[in-house]
């Protein structure tokens, strides 16, 4: 091969490469741009939400990205992220606010620019939101507490472990659980905060057991609190049923292994997927419902294995 021919082939190669990059750039520019802002990029729950969103990006050919704060407690950090994304002028924003009321002023800035704001997982008392995609948390609390119906008797005693009141998810789940437990004649002996104001896990199960050594069950507003409670219970050699509320892998593994009988689970994958689907409809001028329910599952020994296989496949 002559030197001139080699140079020609190299030039053709780089020209084709340049054309490919240019075409790809034009295609991306023409695709709707959707940004998803989550609370914590390190926790498994949010990784499942992200997997659902990424699948929808691919299915609907969306120019999308997922951004997350380092932790649930990074309220100021998330607000900074939201301000930076506003500068990018996306076609739609999907957000899981770390602090609902603190996020409203920046959401108003998006609204002023006619950028639809869809809330996911955690709702906010904000009239201008396009929609909320997530769990009916009162229903989740009711279903979780109802599981005690097959485990406990009227007159039995239960502890509730929940989170700070500025997070509506915790308040609503505890509300639903209390309603169902009281209707069943089960006594709620104490309600403790399983997180501090910085949303860091607060070890309360040991003190609950010390003060109420004969309790018959524990309802926790999410899985991390439930797993924390189970650890204390197991260390003391006790057998007390604990119900969580997320459906993360470690909780479902405890159902499959028989450590706990059942639990309730959100559908974070569907949350991520449905939020992108709804955002695309809004961008295209369609009207979506003000609330899109992602559902609640009851996890038992019968379906735990299938649920685990699904979660493990998307978390690989």
Q: Does 186 score more than 70 pLDDT?
A: yes
Evaluated on CA atoms 187, 190, 191, 195, the torsion sign reads negative
pLDDT, residue 72, reads 63
Strand pairing category for 263-265 and 297-299: antiparallel
Task: Tell me if 95 sits within 8 A of 120, measured CB to CB.
Answer: yes
Report DSSP state, residue 88: T
pLDDT value of position 152: 92
pLDDT tens for each residue of 113-147: 999 999 999 999 999 999 999 999 999 999 999 99
Tell me which residue of 29, 27, 34, 38 sits closest to 91, measured CA to CA: 34
* pLDDT, average across residues 7-31: 56
Per-residue pLDDT, averaged over 4-24, amounts to: 55
Q: What is the pLDDT of residues 77-114, one digit of tens each?
A: 899 999 999 999 999 999 999 888 999 999 999 999 99
Q: Quick one: pLDDT band at residue 24, thresholds 50, 70, 90?
A: very low
Average pLDDT rounded to a whole number, residues 305-310: 94
pLDDT band, very low/low/confident/very high, at 9 (cuts 50, 70, 90): low
220 pLDDT exceeds 60?
A: yes
Q: Provide mean pLDDT across the span 55-65.
A: 97
94-103, 107-116, 198-207, 238-247, range with the lowest pLDDT: 198-207
Sequence-distant (6+) residues with CB within 8 A of 48 are 248, 268, 269, 272, 311, 314, 315
| Distance between CA atoms of residues 242 and 227, nearest Å | 8
- Find the distance separating the first CA and the last CA of the chain, reported in whole Å: 46
The confidence score (pLDDT) of residue 25 equals 43
Task: Give the pLDDT of residue 267.
Answer: 94
pLDDT for 73: 65
Would you say 310 and 267 are in contact if contact means Cβ atoms under 8 Å apart?
no
pLDDT at 10 over 50: yes
For residue 101, the SS3 value is helix
Residue (of 182, 121, 171) closest to 146 by Cα position: 182
Mean per-residue pLDDT over the chain, rounded: 90
User: Average pLDDT in the 182-188 region?
Assistant: 95
The pLDDT of residue 163 is above 60: yes
Q: Kindly report the CA angle at 225 between 220 and 230, in degrees rounded to 5?
A: 90
Distance CA 269, CA 97 (A): 18
Q: Please say if the pLDDT value at position 22 is more than 70.
A: no
Give the lowest-confidence range in 37-41, 140-144, 199-203, 207-211. Answer: 199-203
pLDDT at 251: 93
Give the containing element (helix H, strand E) for 133: strand 131-134
């Amino acid at each position: 091969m002559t030197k001139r021919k080699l140079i020609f082939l190299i030039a053709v190669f780089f020209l084709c490469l340049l054309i490919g990059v240019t075409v790809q750039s034009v295609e991306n520019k023409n695709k709707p741009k959707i940004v998803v802002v989550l609370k914590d990029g390190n926790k498994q729950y949010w990784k499942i939400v992200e997997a659902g969103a990424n699948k929808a990006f691919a299915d609907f050919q969306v120019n999308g990205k997922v951004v997350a704060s380092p932790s649930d407690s990074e309220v100021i950090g998330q607000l900074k992220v939201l301000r930076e994304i506003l500068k990018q002028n996306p076609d739609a924003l999907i957000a899981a606010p770390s602090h609902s009321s603190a996020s409203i002023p920046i959401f108003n800035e998006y609204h002023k620019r006619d950028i639809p704001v869809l809330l996911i997982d955690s709702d906010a008392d904000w009239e201008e939101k396009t929609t909320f995609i997530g769990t009916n948390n009162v229903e989740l609390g009711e279903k979780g507490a109802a599981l005690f119906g097959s485990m406990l008797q009227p007159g039995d005693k239960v502890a509730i472990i929940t989170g700070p009141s500025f997070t509506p998810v915790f308040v609503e789940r505890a509300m639903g659980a209390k309603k169902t437990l009281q209707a069943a004649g089960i006594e709620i002996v104490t309600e403790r905060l399983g997180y501090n104001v910085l949303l860091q896990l607060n070890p309360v199960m040991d003190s609950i057991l010390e003060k109420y050594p004969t309790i018959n069950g524990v309802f926790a507003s999410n899985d991390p609190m439930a797993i924390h409670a189970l650890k204390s219970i197991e260390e003391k050699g006790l057998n007390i049923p604990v119900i969580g509320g997320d459906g993360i892998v470690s909780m479902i593994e405890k159902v499959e292994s028989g450590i706990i009988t059942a639990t309730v689970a959100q559908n974070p994958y569907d949350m991520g997927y449905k939020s992108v689907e709804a955002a695309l409809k809004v961008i295209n001028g369609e009207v979506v419902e003000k609330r899109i329910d992602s559902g609640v599952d009851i996890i038992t020994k019968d379906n735990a294995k299938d649920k685990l296989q699904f979660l493990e496949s998307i978390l690989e």
